[in-house]
Chains A and B, each alone.
Chain A
């Protein structure tokens, strides 16, 4: 085959997927970008190149507040999830005997496959006023009145952390297990204790995996609507919740688009910050 014919053939195979991605991802994305520069006059949409929506984000306190809330929740969730997942992955990789590892891992991430909506609802059952936790605490006599757990930021963070601990355990475990066991042996052999081995050898070697997992957590968390909506209630709104409000009640597509673009901007910044260690091809 000549290089030219070969090329045409290669394009032919890739074309359907590329066209699909362009038509249903790139084009909608560009339209959304254009929409963010349009304005609503009454109920009619006026296309244009106006920055009014972006200006509104800085002027209206509840919009700026939503961005802050989203950032705070996402950063908290990412840090807490990594800190909780790493020891779990470590224990499964290095403490659980080899023949039980796959089972332990499977069990550790099985509830990951609970439906997205159902998972948040299940946490509501646990955290509700009459739910499992309050009931148990009252039963034990630790508290006399139910404490408010649901419809708080704590509930949102808990729901998120539950989900991302499972995801991160999986990615960090995969990272730990692919390291040659000889790295640990060599470090020990050269006189390092368990902590030094972790600090100087294992942690630096798994950093790309941690950062990749943390980035994934950040992206999925900041864009999620369901968990804060079900568990956080309407005490404080995240950006995705505000977007949905714009779409629903007011059909303000331009403002919703501007918020979506801001969300993407934040993700891009997170990407740039972590690019040095990111290995998205290794997911």
Chain B
């Protein structure tokens, strides 16, 4: 009997561990007082009002969205073209090319950011949202490429051959057959890139200066210690990420099955 309950007890303990920090974060975002620690004296929306009225934060939030969608778009377009080129054309050294495209995945974000920081400052260029987005494309491109490349199976290839056989040009094949058939993978790559880039801290921290993204803004707020404002903004960020993940789950993965 005890042996039978053991898995469920473990599952419960695991879920408590997994949800403890998020639960605490969200709970004390509704704190009335100015310290997000017990005892809880809410609920109050005071701190949500406070952060939504903070121009630095809302500006950083918009910057984050801009960087995330920009970087994800570039990553997916480049990743798709590379996957199409490498999966559909017999090229010498294509294994090396694939390895090169995947390589940034095995390197810490910190190192990617450091390398770019050195080059950009040496080249005398300024740091901005654009440089942060460039860094985000470097880390998202391998993921987009890998996801799309993995889904380019024989089934699509036969459909592409059939389309070509029926007189479609290469551009028409891509537009009318390849992209629609790969839409689930492309969407997954896009939204994964958006969530990764939206949350990314260290590259954005190293490669931005005056306009910063939300994680960087949150980081600077952290210097002043525990605050319900941080709980509120953290909860909002979590809500956005979870919404994107749930939309992805419902729209893309459900349909695939």
Q: Do chains A and B touch in the complex (CB under 8 A)?
A: yes
Contact A225 B37 (CB under 8 A): no
A24 pairs with B134, CB closer than 8 A: yes
Cβ contact within 8 Å between B237 and A24: no
Give 11 A-B pairs besides A110-B242, A264-B111 with Cβ atoms closer than 8 angstroms: A9-B170, A10-B89, A16-B78, A24-B138, A111-B238, A114-B25, A123-B21, A125-B24, A131-B38, A165-B17, A280-B106
A241-283 to B contact mask, C-beta < 8 Å, 1/0 = 0010001000001001100100110010001000000001101
Contacts of B77 in A (CB 8 A): 16
Contacts of A219 in B (CB 8 A): 106, 108
What would be 11 A-B contacts, judged by CB atoms less than 8 Å apart? A6-B90, A10-B91, A13-B86, A91-B8, A116-B199, A126-B20, A126-B24, A131-B24, A135-B37, A257-B118, A271-B106
Q: Are B92 and A7 in contact (CB under 8 A)?
A: yes
Kindly specify which of B151-159, B181-189, B215-223 makes contact with the partner chain: B215-223
Contact in complex: A223, B111 (CB < 8 Å):
yes
CB pair B234–A115 under 8 Å, yes or no, is yes
B89:A13 contact, CB within 8 angstroms: yes
Which chain A residue has the least Cβ–Cβ distance from B102?
Answer: A280
The answer to whether A18 touches B101 (Cβ under 8 A) is yes
**B14 and A283: CB pair below 8 A?**
no
Q: CB-CB contacts of B137-159 with A at 8 A, as 1s and 0s?
A: 11001000110001000000000
Does any Cβ of A come within 8 Å of B104's Cβ? yes
A150 to chain B, nearest CB (A): 10
In the assembled complex, the Cα of A208 lies from the Cα of B40 at a distance in Å of 46
Report if B160 contacts A (CB, 8 A): no
**Is B30 in contact with chain A by the CB < 8 A criterion?**
no
Return the CB mask of B5-26 against A: 1 if under 8 Å, else 0.
0011011001101111110110
Chain B residues touching A, range: 35 or more
Q: Which of A16, A95, A225 meets B110, CB within 8 Å? A: A225
Which 6 pairs show the lowest CB-CB distances between chains A and B? A223-B108, A10-B89, A13-B85, A28-B115, A122-B21, A17-B82
CA distance A125 to B108 in the complex (A): 27
B49 CB, min distance to chain A CBs, angstroms: 19
Let me know if A121 and B230 touch, CB within 8 A. Answer: yes
- 1/0 per position for A210-230, CB-CB distance to B under 8 A? 000000000110111110001
| Distance of A86 Cα from B204 Cα, bound (Å) | 33
Cβ contact of A116, chosen from B85, B141, B201, cutoff 8 A: B201
> Secondary structure of the B side of the interface?
helix
Q: Does the CB pair B110–A20 fall under 8 Å? A: no
Question: How many pairs, one residue from A and one from B, have CB atoms within 8 Å of each other in the complex?
Answer: 252
Q: Does B122 contact A (CB under 8 A)?
A: yes
B residues whose Cβ falls under 8 Å from a Cβ of A: 7-8, 10-11, 14-15, 17-22, 24-25, 28, 35-39, 77-79, 81-82, 84-86, 88-92, 94, 97, 100-112, 114-119, 122, 134-135, 137-138, 141, 145-146, 150, 170, 195, 199-202, 206, 214-215, 218-219, 222, 226, 230-231, 233-234, 237-238, 241-242, 244-245, 249
User: Are B111 and A12 touching (Cβ within 8 A)?
Assistant: no
* Contact (Cβ within 8 A) A18 B111: no
Cα(A204)–Cα(B115), bound, Å: 39
Nearest CB of B to A80, in Å: 12
Least Cβ distance of B219 to chain A in Å?
6
Q: Is the CB of A32 within 8 A of B118?
A: yes
User: Scoring A residues 104 to 126 as 1 if CB is less than 8 Å from chain B, else 0, what string do you get?
Assistant: 10111011011111110111111
Q: Which residue of B lies closest to A94 (CB)?
A: B7
The residue in chain A whose Cβ has the minimal distance to the Cβ of B82 is A17
In angstroms, Cα B222 to Cα A6, docked, is 54
Q: Knowing A21-B138, A32-B111 touch, does A115 contact B19 (C-beta < 8 A)? A: no
Q: Tell which of A14, A32, A95, A131 has the most Cβ of chain B within 10 Å.
A: A14
A84 within 8 A of B: yes
Q: From the candidates A116, A132, A247, name the one contacting B20 in the complex (CB within 8 A).
A: A132
